[in-house]
């Protein structure tokens, strides 16, 4: 379970930019820096985020960029994706032999939008007629034969 450990608010110089640096405790993990002959030692696993808003205000969001019908569709993920955040994706495929893509994906760890986009792309690519890649926060889904077009029917965050 992720817990906020510290939060610092910086006011940038020379420009008036506010930046929040937040450290989040994720879990205790076995340290790789101890000899195998020693007993396992656990150390804290922290993630640090530098954001323009307080971390609690960065709600996860998904925005359709190219809805289709097209051979290539795109959507962008935003915000912070806490553990067990659900992203429901329904893609209607034209000319499919396997069927449409209809999944609800859950984030397994606290992650930012770039890591969440990469995870979503891997999950979508498991469909035999789709190839998904991520570029930063953007997920790009392309059709593989025999599919001729994809339409994003549903894209919701819960």
The DSSP symbol for 33 reads: T
pLDDT at position 56, please? Answer: 65
Task: Give me the CATH topology for the region 61-157.
Answer: Immunoglobulin-like (2.60.40)
pLDDT at position 1, please? Answer: 41
Q: The pTM is what?
A: 0.67
Q: What is the distance between the alpha carbons of residues 108 and 81, in angstroms, rounded to a whole number?
A: 9
User: For every one of its 158 residues, what pLDDT tens digit does the chain have, with 9 covering 90 and above?
Assistant: 455 555 665 565 565 667 777 777 666 788 877 767 777 788 887 777 777 667 666 789 899 999 989 999 999 988 888 888 899 999 999 988 888 999 999 988 878 788 889 999 999 999 999 999 998 889 999 999 898 999 999 999 98
Q: What is the distance between the alpha carbons of residues 51 and 73, in angstroms, rounded to a whole number?
A: 28
Q: Compute the Cα dihedral for 77, 79, 84, 86 and give only its sign.
A: negative
Q: What residue spans define the domains of the chain?
A: 3-56, 61-157
- Residue 39, class by beta-carbon neighbours within 10 Å (0-12 exposed, 13-18 middle, 19+ buried)? exposed
């Amino acid at each position: 379970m992720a817990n906020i450990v510290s939060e610092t608010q910086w006011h940038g110089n020379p420009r008036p930019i506010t930046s929040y640096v937040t450290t989040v405790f994720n879990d205790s993990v076995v340290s790789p820096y101890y000899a195998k002959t020693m007993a396992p030692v656990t150390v804290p696993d922290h993630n640090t985020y530098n954001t323009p808003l307080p971390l609690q205000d960065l709600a996860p969001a998904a925005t359709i960029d190219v809805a289709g019908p097209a051979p290539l569709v795109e959507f962008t993920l935003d915000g912070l994706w806490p553990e067990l955040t659900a992203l429901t994706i329904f893609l209607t495929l034209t000319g499919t032999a396997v069927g449409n893509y209809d999944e609800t994906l859950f984030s397994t760890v606290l992650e930012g939008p770039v890591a969440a986009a990469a995870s979503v792309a891997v999950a979508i690519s498991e469909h035999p007629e789709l190839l998904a890649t991520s570029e930063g926060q953007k997920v790009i889904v392309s059709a593989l034969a025999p599919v001729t077009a994809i339409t994003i029917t549903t894209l919701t965050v819960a």
